[in-house]
Amino acid sequence: MTKRNRHEAKSAPAPEPRQRAGSGLVFSVRAVAIGTLLLSVLAMFKPELRLWAVHQLAFLPIALSCMLLLFAALLLSPFGVKIVSLNLLNRVKLPPVGWAAVSFALFMLLSVYGNLLGDGQLAIARLAHLGEMLETGQNIPPGRLFSQKEPGTMLLHEGVFRVAMQVAGPDIQTAPGKSVQDARVERQFAYREIAAWCYRILSSLAGMLLVLLLIQFVRAHGDVDPSVFWLMLLTSGAWLMFFGYVENYAWVSLAMVAFLIAGLKSIESPGKIPFVPIVVFGIAVAMHYLAVVLFPALVYVLWTMHFEQRESAAQNLSAQSKRLKLLIAILGAIGLAGYVYVKGWNGWISVLPLLPQWVSDGYAMLSIKHAVDLFNLMMWAVIAGAFALFFSKRLSGSIKRNNQENFLSIAAGASALFAVVFSPNLGMARDWDIVSAALWPAVFYAAWRTSQLEFDSDSSAKLRASLLSLVILILVPAVLVQSQQHTAIARYRNLLVLDHSRSAYGWENLALYYQRTGELDKRIDAWEHAVAAERNPRYLFNLADAYKLADRMDAADTTAIAAAKVNKEYAGNLFFFAVAQARRNKLDRARVLVNTALELDSTLAYGESMKWWAEKAFEVDSIAKTGDLETARKLLSYYAQVDSTNSYWRDYEMRLGE
């Protein structure tokens, strides 16, 4: 007998017989696609309706929107079957690395033209501030990473940013003829640009690695239909986060899908301890704490591996179902006990309050607006997958297949529960990223199950045409809207109007965007909207500062006073506005600002000296306005000697001489 070479590659497991798809699956997905088409037409003409999952067409040029609608309608017509039967992509023969390179180029191309709205502005500002701290040699506490919900992602981005600073950082030396302040401003812009490129490259890299991982997974499983698998995945708008959309969910999405694949492989080749899923789960949670939704699935894998050999030997096909029900019961009891302990019905951290009357804006778990948002979220992230799972039977047969179904179903169920109870502090339409990232298990589960079902040729073509039409209606418009400045901002502003009660933070981000682009009028408008949504002293002060830059000083100091009255920590800022009013020769207003600041906080640094300056400057100006210039000059000369470090006296003397 020939001895087997221990280095010989193991043969892939033989694919199991395909299970026949039910008649309702294709019909339901096709009905969903037709419904999405009709809602897209409605939202295109009525973007003020709460149909944020499909309203992207309203912000594109009308000709382009009509072309996309017509193409989607064509796919849902009898001609759609002929179109998908061409299998054009199957004719392109590329290795996995080639497809990964193409995807990276696509992600990078669109990320360069994409507009970094949302948390992007604050994320870039955070890295830019890190650049300033590195420049000045300040101590950067490592504990700051663990105060955020995505420590691993922050560490990754900061590490790449530090390397980029070493390679292409700005020159710290001030060039001759340039002020120190001007040089500092230039460096800040350079830091922001480096930070933006770090995010673009890293998000595109995460997308590329995800594509490579999925291609290798599909090619390793002969029982998976690649076209159905990929089309089901691409119906999710969550792919937008890889197009340079600066959020913190690209890398955790990659890690979550990697965990699902590792779990399936562990079940296919059971060992004593599934180390790979454990390690990948730890990486996913480090990337973002939301990945803890995968914990029930990890517990199931560990528990299953303990019993797998015994059940396989006995061919016990019912044990997995009992174990799944027991695990759900145990985790459900623990979750319910925790919910009662923290009185979660009142709202807790990121958990929604239960009833509308228990929250100021009426947004609660049982509110109509939340139900509408969940409907939009399903359309945006997992519409085809949800109906495919509902209208198809579980894949059954072997113990391995049962365990894989249970593993993915508990992961998908936990992700769906997270989406239902999650409290969108910014409004669901702008917090789509975190809930869409959490729903990757549900999307992957739907793609995995549907792609292993057997269809006749006509049903298969209809299913693929319906899925492709959903890609055209959801993902493609979202990417196109994000790739142009005016369309991205128009949609973003529309979302802020839809969620007015939770829009203050969004208007702040938009104001920071306009600050970077130098559009002062739009910056003022954004800060005004932020203040209208929430009278936050930070918003009031930034609005006052923008007014000052626009030389609207009366509005500026009035707003600055309002900020100081809300929080006296802002009282000291009134001194800067007082100096600005004095230089405009409005000494009476300057004196009011100084006195107001001291009334609000008498312990302010330089308070007494500022009060003395305001009183004496007002005195000199009042005398000068009476025409007694000689007395005014004498007083001016005396005060200039007493307060020799203050350049105001010299400036006023020059104006008096004129």
Average pLDDT over residues 157-182: 74
Amino acid at 444: F
Question: For residues 197 and 200, what is the distance between their CA atoms, to the nearest angstrom?
Answer: 5
Task: Check residue 54 and give its pLDDT.
Answer: 95
Distance (Å, whole) CA 272 – CA 93: 39
CA gap 355, 371 in Å, rounded? 12
Tens digits of residue pLDDT in 432-480:
989 999 999 999 999 999 999 999 889 999 999 999 999 999 999 999 9
Does residue 5 surpass a pLDDT of 50? no
CA distance 568 to 486: 38
pLDDT tens figures, 191-220: 888 888 888 899 899 999 999 999 999 999
pLDDT at residue 11 tops 70: no
Whether residue 502 lies inside any domain: the answer is no
pLDDT digits (tens, 9 = 90+) for 415-430: 999 999 999 988 898 8
Is 138 in the same domain as 284?
Answer: yes
Number of structural domains (the chain) is 2
Summarised one tens digit per residue, pLDDT across range 127-147 is 888 888 877 777 777 777 777
Please determine, for residue 651, whether its predicted confidence score (pLDDT) is greater than 80. Answer: no
Domain co-membership, 90 together with 205: yes
Average confidence (pLDDT) over 184-188: 76
The identity of residue 179, as a single letter, is S
Q: Where are the alpha helices (DSSP H) in 269-382?
A: 275-287, 295-314, 319-341, 368-377
What's residue 2's pLDDT?
43
**274 versus 555: which is more confidently predicted?**
555
**Same-domain status, 578 and 438:** no
Mean pLDDT of all residues belonging to the chain: 86
Q: Could you tell me the CATH number of the domain that includes residue 604?
A: 1.25.40
CA distance linking residue 239 with residue 304, whole number of Å: 32
DSSP string, 164-204: HHHHHPPP-SPPTT--HHHHHHHHHHHHHHHHHHHHHHHHH
Higher local confidence (pLDDT), 270 or 274? 274
* pTM, full prediction: 0.87
Q: Which of 164-173, 280-289, 309-318, 606-615 has the lowest mean pLDDT?
A: 309-318
SS3 state at 351 = strand
3 state SS of 453: strand
For residues 549 and 428, state if they share a domain.
no
Contacts of 177 (CB under 8 A, 6+ apart): none
In 3D space, the residue among 236, 230, 400, 244 whose CA is nearest the CA of residue 307 turns out to be 400
Q: Which of 522, 359, 425, 352 is nearest to 118 (CA)?
A: 425
**Residue 130 counted as domain residue:** yes
Q: Are 93 and 29 members of one domain?
A: yes
Cβ–Cβ < 8 Å for 181, 117: no
Across 319-347, average pLDDT: 88
Are 299 and 382 members of one domain? yes
Within this chain, do residues 47 and 195 fall inside the same structural domain, yes or no? yes
Residues 242 and 330 in one domain: yes
Query: Residue 529 pLDDT more than 80?
Result: yes
Which among 401, 395, 407 has a CA at the least distance from the CA of 261? 407
Q: Percent of the chain having pLDDT more than 70?
A: 90
Q: Report which listed range, 85-89, 542-546, 625-629, is most confident.
A: 542-546
Q: For residue 606, how many C-alpha atoms fall within 13 Å in the half-sphere facing its CB?
A: 12
User: CA–CA distance from 613 to each of 607, 608, 639, 645 (Å)?
Assistant: 10, 9, 9, 12
Interacting residues of 582 by C-beta distance below 8 A, sequence separation 6+: 590, 614, 617, 648
pLDDT at site 227: 92
Shared domain for 326 and 224, answered yes or no, is: yes
Which residues fall within 8 angstroms of residue 401, CB to CB, at 6 or more apart? 16, 395
Give me the pLDDT at residue 31, please: 96
Which strand (E) or helix (H) includes residue 120? helix 120-136
pLDDT category at 10 given cuts 50, 70, 90 is very low
Instruction: Give the range of the structural domain holding residue 549, as residue numbers without chain letter.
Output: 536-657
